[in-house]
């Protein structure tokens, strides 16, 4: 019974909420954990749930020593599931209002300096096919701030070199247009013209970035690539795709870009998500004040 309801819920997240595959996978894991807990407590009839059952489950989550962010997401998943159950009349009362979880701790994103980005982008050996591809990927990632899932899903037809933009399909299937700088255009165009055709195996595929077998590059494959360059660069922070995304946003803001424009380019649904970058600038301002002011 519960398994069938969970399947219906996942369809609802896809068809009506328009959530991305990654978000749906996370919600699915969270709800399956909740279902396993109910089974362990011999509660097989979902209509028997009450607020005490839910509060006991939240206490159980805390015992697992999950991070505040993971706990917060589990609570969000559960509240969404409970609303679905109420809407679909599986339960008589909307129990989502009965629960609350820990606030997600706000962690300021890590980013590279402009000099560090320049160093990183100089590392790929463009004389090799894979180095040429890596240079194009890293340049495009920093030039546009796209997510990894968006980067590896790009097609050649998504690029407009003449108008200098890339068309990107983001979370919830929302399309956005992001400008590309000259250096990114040069790197990607060089890759397409001189390197990509040597690995595509004449498959007639329009996918932009391919692995050495001529297949679409995977998320895991890209993570391995960026980790390799991170080790080679020797940065003090761990290099991840999101570090480049954060660097993109931070450098734009430092150089006077409008926060709303950055929100649009990043694909944030809420301006509050983008505003975290203003905290970074405030932190830098305090550092400069402490260094320079005689009475700091």
Q: What are phi and psi of 33, to 5 degrees?
A: -65, -40
Question: CB of 203 within 8 A of CB of 156?
Answer: no
Which entry of 79, 135, 245, 246 is annotated as an active-site residue? 245
Structural tokens at position 246 = 């954060």
Question: CB of 211 within 8 A of CB of 203?
Answer: no
Active site residue 119: no
Structural tokens at position 165 = 């933009």
Helix (H, G, I), strand (E, B) or coil at 250: helix
Active site residue 12: no
Active site residue 39: no
Helix (H, G, I), strand (E, B) or coil at 235: coil
181: Cβ contacts below 8 Å, ≥ 6 apart: 143, 164
Active site residue 251: no
Which entry of 9, 142, 191, 277 is annotated as an active-site residue? 277
Alpha helical stretches, state H, 169-209: 182-190
Active site residue 242: yes
Which entry of 33, 176, 219, 268 is annotated as an active-site residue? 268
Which entry of 73, 133, 147, 246 is annotated as an active-site residue? 147
Active site residue 245: yes
Which entry of 33, 110, 171, 219 is annotated as an active-site residue? 171
Which entry of 242, 260, 279, 291 is annotated as an active-site residue? 242
The C-alpha atoms of residue 97 and residue 142 are separated, in whole angstroms, by: 41
Nearest to 191 by CA among 140, 225, 235: 140
Q: Quickly count: other Cβ atoms within 10 Å of residue 9's Cβ.
A: 21
Active site residues: 147, 171, 242, 245, 268, 277
């Amino acid at each position: 019974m519960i398994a069938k309801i969970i399947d219906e819920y996942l369809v609802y997240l896809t068809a009506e909420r328009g959530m991305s595959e990654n978000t749906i996978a996370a919600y699915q894991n969270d709800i399956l954990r909740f279902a396993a807990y109910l089974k362990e407590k011999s509660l097989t009839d979902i209509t028997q749930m009450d607020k005490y059952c839910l509060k006991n489950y939240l206490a159980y989550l805390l015992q697992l020593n999950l991070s505040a962010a993971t706990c917060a997401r589990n609570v969000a998943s559960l509240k969404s599931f409970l609303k679905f159950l109420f809407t679909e009349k599986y339960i008589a009362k909307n129990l989502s209002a009965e629960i609350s979880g820990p606030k997600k701790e706000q962690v300021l994103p890590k980013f590279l300096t402009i000099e560090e980005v320049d160093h990183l982008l100089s590392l790929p050996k463009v004389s090799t096919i894979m180095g040429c591809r890596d240079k194009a990927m890293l340049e495009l990632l920093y030039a546009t701030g796209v997510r990894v899932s968006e980067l590896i899903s790009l097609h050649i037809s998504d690029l407009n070199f003449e108008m200098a933009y890339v068309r990107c399909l983001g979370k919830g299937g929302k399309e956005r247009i992001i400008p590309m700088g000259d250096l990114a255009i040069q790197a990607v165009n060089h890759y397409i013209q001189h390197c990509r055709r040597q690995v595509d195996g004449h498959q007639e595929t329009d996918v932009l970035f391919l692995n050495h077998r001529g297949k679409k590059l995977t998320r895991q494959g890209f993570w391995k690539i960026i980790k390799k360059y991170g080790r080679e660069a020797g940065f003090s922070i761990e290099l991840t795709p999101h570090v480049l995304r954060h660097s993109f946003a931070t450098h734009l803001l430092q150089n006077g870009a409008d926060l709303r424009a950055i929100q649009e380019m990043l694909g944030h649904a809420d301006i509050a998500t983008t505003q975290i970058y203003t905290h970074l600038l405030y932190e830098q301002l305090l550092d400069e004040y402490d260094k320079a002011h005689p009475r700091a």
